[in-house]
Structure 1
């Protein structure tokens, strides 16, 4: 770590970790460069053993960091690729911030806690902006909110999705998976509440650190709403927000202004949130919430606090990464009564590409 010189034991811990990680990386690098085709796993086994040693030396017992998960060139951590930015203590947590010197500049924020009288690393968060700043530029956020409203027009359902039955999706039943014939029970359960102070909602990949969240064009009344999920085959098959106890009679794409209604997911986690509240949280707070999500029991569904009042819902997205449609359910009077994210687990597709709910 570059200047200033470490003056706190937590800073010293980060320095020692970075030096050791880089040294271990130099031991493993030749094995990856000259891999023996007869022993394809040897390099990875070596890296795993080295990282087990490094983790044991510098991290808390309950850390969720998996240093052996991948090997990259150049080294991800180390004094050659990181420079010190600042450090601070907040309650019982000490934060050390570094900035990478790689072509794609980013920040590493080390979070340390005391364990058995020593400061040890509990987590490392990667950020593409200052972790203490709001997640999105306030003026940018306000412009996006101005594009939304309670009377935003509904888009037409794509022909291939028009036969989906989201009411049936949220019905307890026995389902048979077409791809392998396996049978299971689909079960509906309540998982928490969504609290929105603005009525401007966003459905997004909660594990992706960017400032590119988009609100849904159509807004709802501010309030607190029940959230349910349907599970099958040990996974979340769909999640919905209930804005009313009335039944939906029609479905429309829950589109983003100027865009579509399909959410791309790269971290296996979908979150439904109050958009202004989400845009206002710090990257640090978001990373801490995502760590809670990672640590929760699978199939995961947890509430995410956003500021003083708002609460979002984060869930495992079906089979993981992918693209998932979002729909508004409306009653006979055309009023929004549900918001559904379908993870496309319990659907069948015919030869013409038409989707139906199992």
Structure 2
């Protein structure tokens, strides 16, 4: 799969300050969402545990997290914790996070905001992104270079950045992964954890193994008939056609990045 990552020069700001500037400059940009079919990967979120087992998929509740602002970030926390939040916001609240595993990998990560099954789906977009410009095999997603994904409120993003800034002042600092993520993740089994960056701050983020590793991964809003969010699902490109069993033949499919990302649709 060919992917292109464009790096641009940025002012010499701390990560927390840079995140504030980035979000402040982009939050008002328009977005252009497009309804997409509920592909077989997204559809598994509506299946019973028995039906999932028949497809070699396991549902695992990870816990609840607070979303006090309703602005949600999906990112590789060890590489781009300052990534902007999605343009669509949800009502502030405390919501359960669930992961779906297949082939001993995290295949999907889900935040549920309301009961029920979505009536339609849209790709989750950052401010300024236009889903109308995408080709059939392209998506907007977040790039992964440390084998991890995360879902969080911007309040948890701020807590993580503050913790990282604090750790950087300590002698022997290695990286945000080494000094913040590694120990809690390993203590939880190595594939997923609800991470609390600061002891004096209730903010938590869901951190999980990103499918088979590095790549670009898209998220999708499951919406009700009145366009209100029911689910947010990140597809980590492990399951194919809604089935978690290994493919009999290796898949050669892929797509180039679109704007800042790209991968196959679910």
| TM bracket (short chain) | 0.5 to 0.7
Matched, 1:203 2:94: no
Deviations 1:111-141 (A, max 9, x none): xxxxxxxxxxxxxxxxxx9xxx963216x51
Query: CA separation of 1:335/1:351 partners in 2, compared to 1, >3 Å: closer, same or farther?
Result: same
Structure with more of its chain in strand, by fraction: 1
User: Under a length normalisation based on structure 2, what TM-score does the superposition of the two structures give?
Assistant: 0.67
Matched pairs, number: 214
The 2-side partners of 1:272 and 1:237 are apart by 14
CA positional deviation for 1:184? 6.2
Contact 1:163 1:355 in 2 (8 A): no
- 1:341 corresponding residue in structure 2: 234
The 2-side partners of 1:342 and 1:163 are apart by 11
Matched, 1:217 2:97: no
- 1:312 corresponding residue in structure 2: 205
- 2:151 corresponding residue in structure 1: 272
Query: CA separation of 1:301/1:211 partners in 2, compared to 1, >3 Å: closer, same or farther?
Result: closer
CA positional deviation for 1:306? 4.4
CA positional deviation for 1:154? 5.3
The 2-side partners of 1:282 and 1:234 are apart by 30
In structure 2, the residue corresponding to 1:347 is in which secondary structure?
coil
The 2-side partners of 1:220 and 1:203 are apart by 14
CA positional deviation for 1:300? 1.4
Matched ranges for 1:165-184 at <5 A: 165-169=41-45, 171=47, 172=49, 173=51
Query: CA separation of 1:191/1:248 partners in 2, compared to 1, >3 Å: closer, same or farther?
Result: same
Task: Identify unmatched segments of 5+ residues in structure 2.
Answer: 1-11, 130-138, 168-175, 242-250, 256-262
Matched, 1:137 2:17: yes
The 1-side partners of 2:195 and 2:253 are apart by 40
The 2-side partners of 1:135 and 1:192 are apart by 27
- 1:242 corresponding residue in structure 2: 112
Task: Identify unmatched segments of 5+ residues in structure 1.
Answer: 1-128, 176-182
Greater RCO (CA < 8 Å, at least 6 residues apart): 2
Runs of 4+ in structure 1 over 3 Å off: 145-149, 161-165, 172-175, 284-288, 296-299, 348-357
CA positional deviation for 1:312? 1.1
Contact 1:164 1:355 in 2 (8 A): no
Contact 1:203 1:272 in 2 (8 A): yes
- 1:295 corresponding residue in structure 2: 186
Deviations 1:253-286 (A, max 9, x none): 1111124731111111101111243135231455
Query: CA separation of 1:246/1:186 partners in 2, compared to 1, >3 Å: closer, same or farther?
Result: same
CA positional deviation for 1:228? 0.6
The 1-side partners of 2:76 and 2:181 are apart by 11
Contact 1:238 1:341 in 2 (8 A): yes
CA positional deviation for 1:331? 1.0
In structure 2, the residue corresponding to 1:188 is in which secondary structure?
strand
The 1-side partners of 2:206 and 2:78 are apart by 13
The 1-side partners of 2:52 and 2:40 are apart by 17
In structure 2, the residue corresponding to 1:230 is in which secondary structure?
strand
- 2:96 corresponding residue in structure 1: 226
